[in-house]
Structure 1
Amino acid sequence: MTVRILVVEDEVKTADYLHKGLSESGYSVDVAHDGLAGQQRISDEHFDLIILDVMLPGMNGWQLLQFIRSRWQTPVLFLTARDAVEYRVKGLELGADDYLVKPFSYVELLARVRTLLRRGPPRETQLFGVGDLSLDLVQHRAMRQGQRIHLTNKEFALLHLLISRENEVLSRTFIASQIWNMNFESDTNVVDVAIRRLRAKVDDPWPHRLIHTVRGMGYMLGLEP
């Protein structure tokens, strides 16, 4: 499977250089030229590694790294002209996996990329809990107030997606792409039907709902709508 790398870099020449070099090294490379664009790509797609500049328009690298670490453990390599020790320390303390200063050698960059990718993906959280609902990925078991909830594989995957992004509104298109690996047309009701069936098992037997509809936007799971 092709490794996907996202480069978030506002210097066009540097971004093009990285795109060309990493693509020739066999990676699938995407580029975002500002922090907000990078945030959107990271929210919508899966990447195996993120190469991130610090000084970015819209949202700087520190802020984008904090956003990433609040949700995922994707390896992040900071690539920046900020070479002071305090900047390196800050980047690492915020959760960066490596820090390379510009100007850089492509050979060194490639070696660091390969090292980060060899570490493999971090172990995913195996237990999730919201209120009186719990989800155990290892035992493939959902429980609420101590009672087992019997789910189909798709229902379990849908609940996992919702609970792993607690209090985050997920669009129907995003849910469809993650669960069915397809981009459904906006008028389809496949997601609505799946949510309705999941609610019948997860919410209906109990007084407090956890799966909420956000009108015009999508669905979320949390204690508060």
Structure 2
Amino acid sequence: MKILVVDDDPGIRELVRITLQDAGYGVVAAADAIAALMLLDAEQPDLAIVDVMMPGMDGFALTKELKSFRDIPVLLLTAKGALEDKERGFRAGSDDYVVKPFEPKELLFRVEAILRRYRKDEEARIQAGPLEIDRQSYEVTCGSRTLLLPLKEFELLAILASRPNVVFEREMLLERVWGLDYEGDDRTLSVHIKRIRDRLEGLTDQVEIVTVRGVGYKLEVRP
């Protein structure tokens, strides 16, 4: 997934870029609306994060342009929290709205929620080496063999497989699979990861869930 970040504040652009790249997204950045529009054909972003208050064309006008170009989902960033500004954003076609200053994790959650809503039919199937994961039937296939996992294990495997060889933090996995309000400890995650590993061992030696000590896990795919 590639995300376009448009903000005239270089500090905000860098913060958003680092946050997104650490989560495994590709990022292309622009300092104003005109520069952003010039990038569209070449970069084909899957989502745009747009600052409202920019010189020249503001974020509301840019949102309309993006929507008319390719119906790109848009998340607006603004220092304003007034109801009328939110209304203007949604009327312009934005998909969500985050007020500065924001927590990087909140930005990620909102990005992920938007992308889930916009997921194309072909993206419901994830390929990771010999594994094919079907998010609609909740089946994992490897060659002629089919694996049916409990829901939490399936969700974990699907997240890891969505970006092979990218490290996912333990806390992020807990929040995405068990929810923001989860109050248990992270041993639950360790137990589920072990169960998935045990199941994969019988399917293929090309895919392995690797522990990155002190950080989290990644799904490693080998030729």
By the TM > 0.5 criterion, same fold? Answer: yes
CA RMSD of aligned residues (A): 4.3
Contact 1:212 1:221 in 2 (8 A): yes
The CA deviation at 1:165 is 2.7
Counterpart of 1:151 in structure 2 is 149
Within the candidate set 34, 57, 63, 2:11 is matched to 57
The CA deviation at 1:172 is 1.9
The CA deviation at 1:210 is 2.0
Secondary structure at 1:168's aligned position in 2?
coil
Residues 1:144 and 1:194: Cα distance change in structure 2 (over 3 Å): same
Separation of aligned partners in 1, 2:140 and 2:191: 20
Contact 2:142 2:203 in 1 (8 A): no
Counterpart of 2:38 in structure 1 is 89
Residues 1:106 and 1:139: Cα distance change in structure 2 (over 3 Å): closer
Separation of aligned partners in 2, 1:167 and 1:151: 22
Separation of aligned partners in 2, 1:111 and 1:162: 37
TM-score with structure 1 setting the length: 0.57
Residues 1:142 and 1:207: Cα distance change in structure 2 (over 3 Å): same
> What 5-or-longer segments of structure 2 have no aligned partner?
62-84, 97-113
The CA deviation at 1:111 is 3.4
Greater gyration radius: 1
The CA deviation at 1:170 is 1.5
Letter of the structure 2 residue corresponding to residue 217 of structure 1: V
Within the candidate set 79, 84, 102, 2:55 is matched to 102
Counterpart of 1:164 in structure 2 is 162
Name the structure where helix makes up a greater proportion of residues. Answer: 2
Within the candidate set 112, 118, 121, 1:122 is matched to 118
Separation of aligned partners in 2, 1:177 and 1:163: 17
Separation of aligned partners in 2, 1:180 and 1:66: 21
Contact 2:160 2:218 in 1 (8 A): yes
Residues 1:93 and 1:67: Cα distance change in structure 2 (over 3 Å): farther
Fraction of identical pairs, as percent: 19
Separation of aligned partners in 2, 1:60 and 1:148: 43
Counterpart of 1:135 in structure 2 is 133
TM-score with structure 2 setting the length: 0.57
> What 5-or-longer segments of structure 1 have no aligned partner?
1-49
The CA deviation at 1:87 is 5.2
Contact 2:140 2:147 in 1 (8 A): yes
The CA deviation at 1:200 is 1.3
What does 1:196-211 correspond to in 2, within 5 Å?
196-211=194-209
